[in-house]
Chain A
Amino acid sequence: MTNHDRALDVNTSEASVLSPTPQKRGLSEDFWSVLFGIVTVSMALFVTWSLGDVVTGWINKPGEWSDNPLGSITGAKANVPVWLGTITGLGVIGLLMAAVFASRGELMRGLVAYFGIASLATLAMVMSGQSVVKYYNLEYVLWALLLGWTIGNTVGIPLWLRPAVRAELYIKLGLVLLGMEVLMGKLLALGLPGILVSWVVTPIVLVTTFWFGNKVLRIASPSLTMTIAADMSVCGVSAAIATASACKAKKEELSLAISLSLAFTAVMMVVMPIVIRLIGMDDIVGGAWLGGTIDSTGAVAAAGAALGERALKIASTVKMIQNILIGVIAFAVSVYWSTKYDDGESAGQTKRGFFAEVWTRFPKFVLGFLAVSIIASLIDWSSDAGSMLVKQSIDLVTKEIRNWLFCLAFVCIGLEMRMETLRPAMRGGKPMILYLVGQSLNLLLTGLMAWLVFGWLFRDSIIELLPT
């Protein structure tokens, strides 16, 4: 690696998830992510409305396999080969990226680089499809990070790949698309009991963990503390990505928070159902406890299934209600960070009014995320046909594109990741202590609330709603 490359690597590793990478500057990542997000969501709704199920399988990703990796792309969904759906999915993002590359006058170089990053993302998806890896909740983000990190720390980032190393853009666009899945109507899926467990305990744990990390443990980086607090108390990787972007955390901080969360989730997913059985907790309270405490959404369903059908339904519904919370959390953290922390972008500029200053610092892509969420929620709420349209658009189009975008983002984060930047915050194993303390509080408070609400106050209505 040349000195020039090393200098670039150091600069990129110190940049936050939200700060532009030190390449050619063009229109802001926020502008592109909001524009592309709205275009993609509109196209998804239009295509699904006009073509319906014909779209099935055309946007896809490699599937599950056990002993032959090729098995992940040789299958088919609705007669469309998985390899073709994979190419189409990555092709849609490639088309959007072409506009970015063209605006910077590097269309061909950009597309070649995108092909390289997309190939690594595909490999990460194939790795995550191995059945043992998949069923123990080792999500694709981990393998995307590992692949990128291995290349970045052995041969360095090849120069030809650099134009497509745009973690910030992929993450923000992915988050705007995630807005489509944040449907406010889902909040009422379990009525008041679900809201009490998901929306009362979660903010308390989040704020307390953040306070504990800052004031007691004195972790050097507030953004690391906030990202760990959010991924532990809300819903794992997706909450970590949203919050890290909202509080402008460093790439390494996001990676650390996600690694901690995935490691503990894999253990909790297997151990908690056993503990629930051992202590004689019933499936209703146990399901609610699992839903409110295990970080990752998929792992909640797996743990719930180990307790039975009713626990599965309660656990996954409580988690789904918690999932919806990430819209509010991302917005609240963005506003808090814009008022509390100076990100340096506006330092040294002319003094402006408070609101102008907040607006300057506010990550604008959050507005795109909220706008998409509100529009999708309104369509979903308007009628049964509207609800079906939103569901199909998510399942057939936006969900898969969002997964690809996050995978591309984590390949890029891995490529640029330099763990030495985390050393000050890692001193004394503080992030691990923070996670353990926060999760213990979460287990305690959620357990109490689950017992109070699901085991006592609303027990009869829950049994009526879910008889078995």
Chain B
Amino acid sequence: MTNPTTQKNRWLGIAQLIVCTAIGAIVWTMLLPLVGELETVKRWIDPLRQRGINPAGMYYTDVFEARDETP
């Protein structure tokens, strides 16, 4: 027989996961695109994009994307 507490915890966990997924979806598809439109943010992003620099590069081989500028 299934323990009612375990069953309750499972549903609670599923509900929490659904809420987290919904928050993530809203942040990534609505909030971040809006932030990306801000002038200050654009001033930071555009020159880097033009130069093909990936600030999220983990190692020196990841950094220069669009053109070969690996020193």
Q: Write the A380-420 contact mask toward B (1 if CB under 8 angstroms, else 0).
A: 00000000000100110001000100100000000000000
Nearest-neighbour CB distance to chain A for B20, whole angstroms, equals: 5
In the complex formed, the residue of B with least CB distance to A237 is B58
Q: A297 touching B17 by the CB < 8 A rule?
A: no
Supposing A1-B6, A320-B60, A395-B61 touch, asked if A299 and B55 sit within 8 A by C-beta, the answer is yes
Contact of A43 with B by CB under 8 A: no
Contact of A170 with B by CB under 8 A: no
Q: A305 touching B6 by the CB < 8 A rule?
A: no
Q: How far is B14's CA from A246's CA once the two chains are assembled, in angstroms?
A: 37
Q: A302 touching B36 by the CB < 8 A rule?
A: no
Q: How far is B47's CA from A417's CA once the two chains are assembled, in angstroms?
A: 38
Q: A69 touching B56 by the CB < 8 A rule?
A: no
In the complex formed, the residue of A with least CB distance to B29 is A69
Q: A132 touching B32 by the CB < 8 A rule?
A: yes
Within 8 A of B (CB), among A422-468: none
Majority SS of interface residues in chain A? helix
Q: How far is B17's CA from A312's CA once the two chains are assembled, in angstroms?
A: 42
Contact of A155 with B by CB under 8 A: yes
- Contact partner of B58 among A1, A131, A139, A186, CB < 8 A? A139
Contact of A21 with B by CB under 8 A: no
Q: A69 touching B10 by the CB < 8 A rule?
A: no
Nearest-neighbour CB distance to chain B for A343, whole angstroms, equals: 27
Within 8 A of B (CB), among A355-403: 391, 394-395, 399, 403
Within 8 A of A (CB), among B15-71: 16-17, 20, 24, 28-29, 32-33, 35-36, 41, 44-45, 47-49, 51, 53-64, 69-71
Which residues on the B side are within 8 Å of A317 (C-beta)? Answer: 71
Q: Write the A48-86 contact mask toward B (1 if CB under 8 angstroms, else 0).
A: 000000000000000000111100000000000000000
Q: How far is B51's CA from A67's CA once the two chains are assembled, in angstroms?
A: 21
Nearest-neighbour CB distance to chain B for A160, whole angstroms, equals: 15
Q: How large is the interface on B (under 10, 10 to 19, 20 to 34, 35 or more residues)?
A: 35 or more
Contact of A209 with B by CB under 8 A: no
Q: B36 touching A320 by the CB < 8 A rule?
A: no
Nearest-neighbour CB distance to chain A for B41, whole angstroms, equals: 6
Q: How far is B7's CA from A442's CA once the two chains are assembled, in angstroms?
A: 52
Contact of A38 with B by CB under 8 A: no
Contact of A109 with B by CB under 8 A: no
Contact of A136 with B by CB under 8 A: yes
Q: How far is B45's CA from A89's CA once the two chains are assembled, in angstroms?
A: 28
Nearest-neighbour CB distance to chain A for B16, whole angstroms, equals: 4
Q: B59 touching A302 by the CB < 8 A rule?
A: no
Q: A137 touching B56 by the CB < 8 A rule?
A: yes
Q: A302 touching B53 by the CB < 8 A rule?
A: yes
Nearest-neighbour CB distance to chain A for B70, whole angstroms, equals: 8
Contact of A127 with B by CB under 8 A: yes
Q: How far is B59's CA from A127's CA once the two chains are assembled, in angstroms?
A: 19
Q: A302 touching B55 by the CB < 8 A rule?
A: yes
Which residues on the A side are within 8 Å of B56 (C-beta)? Answer: 128, 133-135, 137-140, 296, 298
Q: How far is B24's CA from A320's CA once the two chains are assembled, in angstroms?
A: 34
Q: How far is B20's CA from A57's CA once the two chains are assembled, in angstroms?
A: 34
Which residues on the B side are within 8 Å of A395 (C-beta)? Answer: 61
Which residues on the B side are within 8 Å of A132 (C-beta)? Answer: 32, 35-36, 41, 45
Nearest-neighbour CB distance to chain B for A374, whole angstroms, equals: 18
Q: How far is B45's CA from A299's CA once the two chains are assembled, in angstroms?
A: 12
- Contact partner of B14 among A2, A150, A154, CB < 8 A? A154
Q: B71 touching A130 by the CB < 8 A rule?
A: no
Which residues on the A side are within 8 Å of B17 (C-beta)? Answer: 150-151, 154-155
Q: A313 touching B71 by the CB < 8 A rule?
A: yes
Which residues on the B side are within 8 Å of A320 (C-beta)? Answer: 60, 70-71
Contact of A270 with B by CB under 8 A: yes
- Contact partner of B36 among A131, A151, A181, CB < 8 A? A131
In the complex formed, the residue of A with least CB distance to B50 is A305
Which residues on the A side are within 8 Å of B13 (C-beta)? Answer: 1, 154-156
Which residues on the A side are within 8 Å of B28 (C-beta)? Answer: 69, 127, 130
Q: A301 touching B57 by the CB < 8 A rule?
A: yes
Q: A181 touching B71 by the CB < 8 A rule?
A: no
A-B contact pairs, 26 of them (CB 8 A): A1-B6, A2-B6, A68-B29, A69-B28, A127-B24, A127-B28, A130-B33, A130-B36, A132-B32, A136-B55, A137-B56, A139-B58, A154-B14, A154-B20, A156-B13, A181-B59, A236-B58, A269-B55, A296-B56, A298-B58, A301-B55, A301-B57, A302-B55, A313-B71, A320-B71, A323-B59
Binding site for A on B (CB under 8 A): 6, 9-10, 13-14, 16-17, 20, 24, 28-29, 32-33, 35-36, 41, 44-45, 47-49, 51, 53-64, 69-71
Given A181-B60, A236-B58, 15 extra CB contacts under 8 A: A2-B6, A68-B29, A130-B28, A137-B55, A137-B56, A155-B17, A186-B60, A189-B71, A296-B56, A297-B58, A298-B63, A301-B57, A301-B63, A316-B69, A391-B70
4 tightest A-B CB contacts, nearest first: A298-B57, A302-B55, A67-B33, A320-B60
